[in-house]
Amino acid sequence: MTTNAQTEVGFHARQHGRWHWSEFAFWIVVLAVGLAFPSRYLIMTEILRLALFALSLDLILGYAGIVSLGHAAFFGVGAYCAGLLSVHGLINEPVLALIVAGLAATVLGFATSFLVIRGADLTRLMVTLGIALLMEALAERFSNITGGTDGLQGIDIQPIFGVFAFDMFGKTGFFYALAVLFVLFLLARMIVHSPFGLSLRAIKNNPLRAAAIGIPVNKRLIAIYTVAAFYAGIAGALFTQTTALASLDVFSFERSADLVLMLVIGGSGYLYGGLIGAAVFRMLQELFQWITPQYWMFWIGLVLVVIVLVGRHRIHAYALWLPNLVLRQIAGRKAAVALTDNEAP
């Protein structure tokens, strides 16, 4: 019986883990968009960074059910780490610096994960928020190192592998960010479809039951939180490397809040949510800034309120209605896309 169940589970897990044709289509579209709008590299790079950041939150929110309001802490650590490495000329190779910055965030993630797994939702919210505020206060305190509100001065990013120099149009930056995002996306995809990822879903659905069938809940949560911190750190480092900026606002609360909004727009728990959400969010932001340059925050707030009041599931159903209608016409009933995620607690 057990072997039966095991093979059954394994079969379904593998089925789930296979690449769907729509995923290929997604990445082809991304690459095509990148090639099609050479004058928009800067904003597209920004979307890619946000996407990586949102992917990081999706790993803990969508797969492990940890609500975090302080994810900017890791973003900020990654950003400052990459900036400092460059300013002091410690590591000049961007890719290596990227990884080191990611690892720095990982260390912080691992250290704080023990605080986060304690307590229920509310305590988690508070602790994550507190950690981000703490990092911000620290960065302000040591403004001789971090440059304070003015930001780090003199960040100069060397060419990637000594070959591809960052140009002022952001072309290198864009393809660099795209490559990093894709590689990390593949990694995330492997993680969530592995037995480890499945156990996370079990924990998210019911931690008590998960513990009862022998899943070490706390260890798994620590692990995924640490991995997410690595991702956020890389996103932060990418931010610094592609903009040559790092200032106090990398830790800001708005950054964490916007991140949650992105994931909510895109939907959590299927990895692409963060990527789509980041793109939609950035477009919305651009639109709002175009309507009322100073008060775009109002519209972002309105979007949040409307999303919650209408209900996240219903919004996604509406958004998918037209694509599904088209898909059904072309490829028959089965091709319809549906989000089956049972979203966070």
Partner 1 sequence: MTAILTNLFDGVAYGMLLFVLACGLAVTLGLMNFVNLAHGAFAMAGGYVCAVLVNRVGWPFFAALPLAFVASAVIGALLERTLYQHLYARSHLDQVLFSIGLVFMTVATVDYIMGSSRIFIKLPEILQGQFDIFGVGIGRYRLMIIVICGLLTVGLQLVLSKTRFGSRLRAAVDDPRAASGLGINVPQVFAFTFAFGCGLAGLGGALSAEILGLDPYFPLKFMIYFLIVVTVGGSSSITGPFLASLLLGVADVAGKYYVPKLGPFVIYTIMIVILIWRPNGLFGRTATR
Which residues inside 274-303 make contact with partner 1, applying CB under 8 A? 294-298, 300-303
User: What contacts 93, CB < 8 A, 6 or more positions away?
Assistant: 158, 160, 161, 162
Stretch that binds partner 1, among 61-69, 85-93, 189-197, 331-339 (CB under 8 A): 61-69
d(CA 185, CA 222): 20
User: 97-103 long-range CB contacts below 8 Å, 24 or more apart?
Assistant: 97/237, 97/241, 98/180, 98/234, 98/237, 98/238, 98/241, 99/234, 101/77, 101/233, 101/234, 101/236, 101/237, 101/240, 102/78, 102/230, 102/231, 102/233, 102/234, 102/237, 103/230, 103/233
Q: How many binding residues for partner 1 (CB under 8 A)? A: 46
Which residues inside 305-344 make contact with partner 1, applying CB under 8 A? 305, 307-309, 312, 343-344
Q: Which is nearer to partner 1, 144 or 329 (CB)?
A: 144
Least separation in angstroms between residue 163's CB and partner 1 is 43
Told to check if 125 binds partner 1 by CB under 8 A, we report yes
Which residues inside 162-221 make contact with partner 1, applying CB under 8 A? none
Told to check if 129 binds partner 1 by CB under 8 A, we report yes
Q: Which is nearer to partner 1, 115 or 336 (CB)?
A: 115
Told to check if 27 binds partner 1 by CB under 8 A, we report no
DSSP 215-253: --HHHHHHHHHHHHHHHHHHHHHHHHHHH----GGGG-H
d(CA 237, CA 75): 8
Q: Which is nearer to partner 1, 155 or 265 (CB)?
A: 265
Rounded to 5 degrees, what angle do the CA atoms 192, 198, 203 make? 115
Give residue 73's identity as a one-letter amino acid code. A
Told to check if 99 binds partner 1 by CB under 8 A, we report no
Stretch that binds partner 1, among 1-9, 113-121, 273-281, 318-326 (CB under 8 A): 113-121
Least separation in angstroms between residue 290's CB and partner 1 is 15
Least separation in angstroms between residue 341's CB and partner 1 is 13
Residues forming contacts to partner 1 in the complex (CB under 8 A) are: 61, 67, 69, 115, 118-123, 125-127, 129-131, 133-134, 137-138, 140-141, 253-254, 257, 260-261, 264, 294-298, 300-305, 307-309, 312, 343-345
